[in-house]
Amino acid sequence: MHHLAQGVQRFRQDVFPRRAELFERLATTHEPGALFIGCSDARVVPELITQREPGELFVIRTAGNLVPAYTPGPDAVAAGVEYAVGVLGVADIIVCGHSACGAMTALAEGQDLAALPAVADWLRHADAARARTARNEEAAEPYDKVAALVRGNVAAQLANLATHPSVARALARDAVRLHGWVFDIGSGTVEELDAGRGRFAALPAA
């Protein structure tokens, strides 16, 4: 904990003064251009990966970057999505999976989650992802189960995202674009889902 307090002190002394103008503007405006839905994994830092400044990304992070399909009732993810799309009017939504994801590894390897009932329940939101990738398990060529599930899960969560009324409305008006990414921790590279072809390829440079 000590190093966190030291970090705050260093931020206030060294970083904040240099960025005072930015924070002065942000004190009264909140206009992020994108909603980034990533995994809670400590190694996947949205602003670092995308080189965005404070104020530019509205971020939701969940275990396994899961977005439950819309159901009425209290739901932190649904509330965040609704606010980002309906109020802030983000133009892009990124669902970002990553290599070596603990949640996807647990599912791909069929780990015993009896001692983690909350995790086990939460990961049910990846059932569609497991169904999407299950058929590949019969393929003859060797393949990386975890990597396949990470990718299948991004596609499944994009489908879940589209069940949220705010997203469905924005999609119908062409007011939002959905993107599926996978971040590779070891190489720092990002692959993007080509929804039309159902395949991931290197994120093209803008």
43 catalytic per annotation:
yes
In degrees, rounded to 5, the angle at the alpha carbon of residue 161 between the alpha carbons of residues 87 and 99 is 115
Q: CA-CA distance, 201 to 192, in Å (whole number)?
A: 6
- The Cβ of residue 36 has, within 10 Å, a number of other Cβ atoms equal to 26
Residue 39 or 85 with smaller CB distance to Zn ion: 39
Residue 83 or 145 with smaller CB distance to Zn ion: 145
Shortest approach of Zn ion to residue 36 CB, angstroms?
Answer: 14
Residue 85 or 148 with smaller CB distance to Zn ion: 148
Q: Of residues 3, 18, 30, 43, which has the active-site annotation?
A: 43
Q: Which residues bind Zn ion (CB under 5 A)?
A: 39, 41, 101
Distances (CA, A) of 168 to 77, 79, 171, 176: 16, 15, 5, 9
Shortest approach of Zn ion to residue 185 CB, angstroms?
Answer: 10
H-helix or E-strand containing 80? helix 76-82
Shortest approach of Zn ion to residue 102 CB, angstroms?
Answer: 6
Positive or negative, the CA dihedral 116, 117, 123, 128 is: positive
Shortest approach of Zn ion to residue 105 CB, angstroms?
Answer: 9
Burial of 44: CB neighbours in 10 Å, binned 0-12, 13-18, 19+: buried
Q: Tokens standing for 70? A: 């819309």
What secondary structure, in 3-state letters, does 184-196 show?
CCCCCCEEEEECC
Residue 99 or 166 with smaller CB distance to Zn ion: 99
Q: Tokens standing for 7? A: 């970090």
Residue 70 or 183 with smaller CB distance to Zn ion: 183
Shortest approach of Zn ion to residue 9 CB, angstroms?
Answer: 31
39 catalytic per annotation:
yes
96 catalytic per annotation:
no
Whether the CB-CB separation of 25 and 56 falls below 8 Å is answered with: no
Q: Of residues 39, 96, 125, 130, which has the active-site annotation?
A: 39
Q: Which residues are catalytic?
A: 39, 41, 43, 98, 101
